[in-house]
Amino acid sequence: MDAISVIRTKRDRGELTAAQIDWVVDAYTRGEVADEQMSALAMAILLNGMNATEINRWTDAMIASGERMDFSTLSRPTADKHSTGGVGDKITLPLAPLVAACGVAVPQLSGRGLGHTGGTLDKLEAIPGWQAALSNDAMLRVLEDVGAVICAAGDGLAPADKKLYALRDVTGTVEAIPLIASSIMSKKIAEGTGALVLDVKVGSGAFMKDLDNARELARTMVRLGVDHGVKTVALLTDMSTPLGLTAGNALEVRESVEVLAGGGPADVVELTVALAREMLAAAGQTRIDPADALRDGSAMDVWRRMIGAQGGDPDAKLPVARETQVVTAASSGVLTRVDAYAVGVSAWRLGAGRARKEEQVQAGAGVELHAKPGDTVVAGQPLLTLHTDTPERFEYATEILSDAITIAPTGTTFEPTPILIDRIGPTA
Q: Which listed residue (81, 90, 187, 223) is catalytic?
A: 187
Nearest to 148 by CA among 300, 284, 268, 261: 300
- β strands within 292-346, DSSP E: 323-328, 333-338
Question: Residue-wise over 197-229: b if at least 16 C-beta within 10 A, else e?
Answer: bbbbbbbbbbbbbeeebbbbbbbbbbbbbbbbe
Active site residue 231: no
Q: Which helix (H) or strand (E) holds 197?
A: strand 195-202
> Which one from 81, 123, 168, 201 is the annotated catalytic residue?
168
- C-alpha 167: how far from its chain's center? 20
Catalytic residue chosen out of the listed positions 65, 83, 182, 183: 183
**Catalytic-residue membership of 298:** no
Distance CA 426, CA 428 (A): 6
Known catalytic residue: 82? Answer: yes
Quote the CA–CA distance of 267 and 202 in Å, as a whole number.
Answer: 15
Q: What single-letter DSSP state applies at residue 409?
A: P
CA-nearest of 57, 51, 69, 47 to 26 is 57
What whole-number distance in Å separates Cα of residue 238 and Cα of residue 327? 24
**Active-site option among 10, 57, 81, 82:** 82
Q: Which DSSP symbol is given to 118?
A: -
Catalytic residue (choose from 89, 161, 267, 339):
161
**Whether 354 is catalytic:** no
Say whether 168 is catalytic: yes
Contact between 140 and 71 under an 8 Å Cβ cutoff? The reply is yes
Q: Known catalytic residues? A: 82, 161, 168, 183, 187
